[in-house]
Structure 1
Amino acid sequence: MDLSYRMKSHWNKHGEKQESGEKLDNEATKDETYNLFQAAYFIDEELVQPIPINEPSEHGHGDEFIRRLEEAQTPLYPGCESYTKLSAIVDLYGLKGKSGLSSKHFNELLGIIKRMLPKDNVLLDSAASIKSFLKIFDMGYEKIHACVNDCCLFRKKYEELDNCPTCGASRWKINKRSKEIRKGVPVKVLRYFPIIPRFKRMFRSSQMAKDLRWHFDNKSTYGKMRHPVDSLAWDLVNDKWPSFAADPRNLRLGLSTDGFNSFSILSSKYSCWPVMLVNYNLPPMLCMKKDNIMLTLLIPGPKQPGNDIDIYLQPLVDDLQLLWENGVEAYDAFSKSTFNLKTMLMWTINDFPTYGNLAGCSTKGRKACPICGKNTHHRWLRFSKKFSYMGHRKFLKPSHPYRRKKSWFDNSVEHGSKPRALTGHNISAVLNDFPNDFGKGGDKKRKRNNNENDGDDDEDEDDTSDIDNQNELTRWNHK
């Protein structure tokens, strides 16, 4: 038995054409880049109709389309069958991104490759010219200047200011030696990747537009959850907003963010925060694929934004509100029709500290539980200098034996009942007049007084002595 016959590229015993795997891969790359080009450029934004190749439109896009289409199909050099101009650019620029090549070294690499190819090749010779060529995909990002103390973004009414209206910090970098302001060089820059053109582009591809309808006809029928469409939250949205749920093309999203050290695993001097969106309309095998997870914001360091992350989320929130309240006109290549595209942010995915920053809830101290709020059962341990949360027995049934086990817990019998979870209306009423002051300009953390019984209000004080607290902590550590 010939083991090599198992490989598809070697199937030639029954009249199949023998082709190398490299050639097949190159043809797949050509098809993929050509389809990507079509999805990005084939629709006229104003007419929202496909432009016939042989008929230029009244806005002049037809001639531009023909020229770009010819460039996409042009071989890298006469007689080249493996690469076109577009596929070569996509592969080389992808290598630059993966390897972290600087523009200078990338230009040198392009020069070397261009000299190796025949003289009549069409390969571009610089990173700048490649960026200009790839602008047809509209995949750039917006640079938004930010206050160094995270007080505001210099956009909309603050766009022309040179100093922060809150803390007065300069928008521009200051030369450390001469102390001169380097106007035009911002101190901090937020990168925002606009989501509306990316959502509209998804529906320009007929296959992607078809996949975005998957959730509508594939709900689980056997009671097992294998996609968010099978969750109670999904059904709640359908019941509460039936007009939104009626169109399967409306998108349901999840947001996730966290910080990471971009320069060294062990370094904590710089923390960069990406904000990503997950599209739950797609089927399970595509939903969490890295190609379909959208990077929307890149929040710069060196320090984490903390509660001031609200400032950096403004551009994304503005677009999400527009997509929820009014929607945008988009072209559906699958049904070949236009429709009003709307989106909804269903939930966020993050760890507990980030949850506190995003939701504006306390996740430590006396009110560490975002569900219980002010009813969180807490106790300040003087000797260990931290809070202890031992009130979990009140969630048990009134007749549960653990409620009477003193020695197992905090030497007390639990008679309380579980607190009511805060609703959205309760939280809104509490935070209605809450002053939300952004920025870190001059603010210092309060130092805790060791003699202060922090965390216990007068009405929450109990008779447990310091010795009992110490014994309680020891007992807890042993368990």
Structure 2
Amino acid sequence: MDKEWIHLPSRLVPEYEEGVQKFLTQGKKYAKTCEVILCPCKHYKNKKYMKFDQVYDHLIIKGFDPSYTIWVFRGETYNRQYQGEGSSGEFQKDDESREAYHLYKDSFVPEEEVGCTMYEAKDNDFASLLEDVETPLFPGCTTYTKLSIVVTLYNYKSTNGHTDNSLNELLKILGDMLLEKNTLPETVYSMRKLLKPFDLGYEKIHAWPNDCCLFRKELKNLDTCPKCGSSRWKVDKVTTKVFKGVLEKVLRYFPVIPRFKRMFKSKEKAEELIWHSNHKSQDHMMRHPVDSVAWDIINHKWPDFASNPRNLRLGLATDGFNPFGNLSSRYSCWPVILVNYNLPPLMCMMKENLMLTLLIPGPKQPGNDIDVYLEPLIEDLKELWETGVETYDAFSKSMFNLKAILMWTINDFPAYGNLAGCATKGKLGCPICGEDVCSMWLKYSRKFAYMGHRRFLSPNHPFRQKKKWFNGKKKKEKGNLDL
């Protein structure tokens, strides 16, 4: 049956609902029982049996798993044949291993399309990747290939929290169970080596433990902090011995510019990134940030930026969490995530579209020094705003100058104070009211209270006359003074 409905930008259109109904009708023919089938939603991914009405709800609410392209549980079989399309020879995206190869191949644009040599493909790498995509797990296997089993097992490892040693033992057991001529990797190291060509990588940036600055640019070769004098290396607190080579703190930065450029090299993703240009609400109802006042203000202030719908509008979110899964507050790790608002409303907040850019280590939170760690990200965002980067658009098959703007930050109130540098506590604790904030010091509680909320009521509101309900005073009908 037709599978195009899976990739529709909205799950609220009739075409998507009709596709779900046809899928369930076909699934009933191949169900082991007449009551339940495997749920192929993005959450369960064919790992749990559910009733048909529950599967329907999950597919509408959570969406269909895009990696489930060959419906082996609905009667389809794996097909290793591929077809060429023009001189580039693109392959059908039959399974998740083909999708990974397709995305990798799309990151290299043929020279004849762009007119430059910077995107030349490496034939040897393509041949090696193609061999892994096409090689079955063992002779006669129609379910898994060498690459797809690696992707499946690595996903299993990360989802269930297995250690490297645990997965090594599992690989050994599976290797003994399979035929002798199987292509299953023997170790986790072999799996990572196989997946390395698809990795975008990240930068390790050394940091001072006191959050003073980063070891980069002119400070790259220093061993001590020029501000506080602390060591770059781990120091024994008892013997004060310096362990040369053991870093005290490491910031991990995932560069955003290569990832933005890679998004536009996928035809489907490049088309989704201009969705907002044709879907602005006409009934004054807000369904997407494109309908917001902030979006219109950007269009008015920078018309050159708004003239190209491919330019990105981003949001930045950050907060601390304990990665060790307990309630202790002794360790606080801060991820910094970018949200892409160019995408359709049901896609921009999906976890696969949230872009992790920085991983700020603990054990203590960066506080007001978070700007030190944001430095590499801010530099890339400034480049994207001021000059832009040359990018290939696979949808229109043309080069363009990609720019981006940071629209919003998303955080709780304490993190808002750290990011924006505003006062979020004390006498002037409201960054919106500023000097007009109504605060009072509680002598015995030794803290500030904010009791000025009655000033926002209408002048004749009865609450303005209540004394005991509030601070023991009436609120003046005009102005912010109490009587």
**TM-score between the two structures when normalised by the length of structure 2:** 0.77
Residue identity in the other structure for 2:267: S
Partner of 1:276: 337
| 1:385 to partner: Cα distance | 1.1
User: Conserved in 2, the CA contact under 8 Å of 1:330 and 1:338?
Assistant: yes
Distance 1:374 1:346, change over 3 A: same
Tell me how far apart the structure 2 counterparts of residues 283 and 84 of structure 1 sit (CA, whole Å).
Answer: 33
Q: 2:274 aligns with which of 184, 202, 213?
A: 213
Q: 1:223 and 1:42 mapped to 2: Cα distance? A: 39
For 2:55, the equivalent position in structure 1 comes to: none
Q: Distance in 1 between matches of 2:141 and 2:96?
A: 18
Secondary structure at the counterpart of residue 95 of structure 2: helix
| Cα displacement string for residues 63-83 of structure 1 (whole angstroms, at most 9, x for unaligned residues) | 322332232222222222111
Structure with the larger RCO, 1 or 2 (CA within 8 Å, 6+ apart): 1
1:361 aligns with 2:425: no
Greater mean deviation of Cα atoms: 78-87 or 208-217: 78-87
One-letter amino acid matched to 1:356: G
Aligned residues: 409
Alpha-carbon distance between aligned partners in 1 of 2:295 and 2:162, rounded to the nearest angstrom: 43
Answer yes or no: is the 8 Å Cα contact 2:132–2:147 preserved in 1.
yes
Tell me if structure 2 keeps the 8 A contact 1:380–1:387.
Answer: yes
The aligned residue for residue 8 of structure 1 is: 26
State how far apart, in whole Å, the 2-side matches of 1:122 and 1:260 are: 40
Following superposition, the deviation at residue 214 of structure 1 comes to 0.9
- Asked whether the 8 Å contact 2:111–2:119 carries over to 1, the reply is no
**Aligned: 1:82 with 2:82:** no
Does 1:140 pair with 2:204?
no
8 Å CA contact 1:141, 1:192 repeated in 2: yes
Q: Is the 8 A contact 2:289 2:295 kept in 1?
A: yes
Q: What's the counterpart of residue 21 of structure 1?
A: 73
CA distance in 1, matches of 2:308, 2:112: 20
RMSD: 3.1
- Quick one: structure 1 residues 41 and 159, their matched pair in 2 at CA, closer, same or farther if it must change by over 3 Å? farther
Equivalent AA in structure 2 for residue 21 of structure 1: F
Aligned-partner residue type, residue 193 of structure 2: S
C-alpha distance in 2 between matches for 1:262 and 1:303 = 13
- Shifted more, 111-120 versus 333-342: the winner is 111-120
| Contact preservation (8 Å) 2:460, 2:477 | no
**Equivalent of 2:410 in 313, 332, 349:** 349
Q: For 2:276 and 2:397, how far apart are their aligned partners in 1? A: 20
Q: Hey, what does 1:41 align to over in structure 2?
A: 105
In structure 2, relative to structure 1, the CA distance for the partners of 1:170 and 1:268 (3 Å cut) is: same
Q: Give the whole-Å Cα distance in 2 for the aligned partners of 1:25 and 1:211.
A: 30
Residue of structure 2 equivalent to 1:149: 210
Distance 1:25 1:297, change over 3 A: farther
Counterpart residue identity of residue 127, structure 1: V
Amino-acid identity (%): 54
C-alpha distance in structure 1 between counterparts of 2:175 and 2:236, whole Å = 41
2: CA distance between counterparts of 1:6 and 1:362? 55
Equivalent runs, 1:37-186 vs 2, <5 Å: 37-44=101-108, 47=111, 49=113, 61-175=122-236, 179-186=240-247
Task: Give the AA of the match of 1:156.
Answer: K
Residues 24 and 387 from structure 1, CA distance in 2 versus in 1: closer, same or farther, beyond 3 angstroms? farther
Structure-to-structure mapping, 1:62-461, within 5 angstroms: 62-175=123-236, 179-398=240-459, 400-415=461-476
What is the alpha-carbon distance in structure 1 between the residues aligned to residue 409 and residue 135 of structure 2? 45
Shift, 1:44, TM fit: 2.9
Residues 318 and 334, structure 2, Cα contact 8 Å, conserved in 1? yes
Code of the residue aligned with 1:32 in structure 2: it is: E
Shift of 1:285: 1.5
- Aligned-partner Cα distance in 2 for 1:77–1:49: 38
CA distance in 2, matches of 1:94, 1:140: 18
Task: Assess, with a 3 A threshold, how the Cα gap between structure 1 residues 233 and 415 changes in structure 2: closer, same or farther.
Answer: same
Q: CA deviation at 1:349?
A: 1.0
Work out which of the two has the higher radius of gyration on C-alpha atoms and give 1 or 2. 1
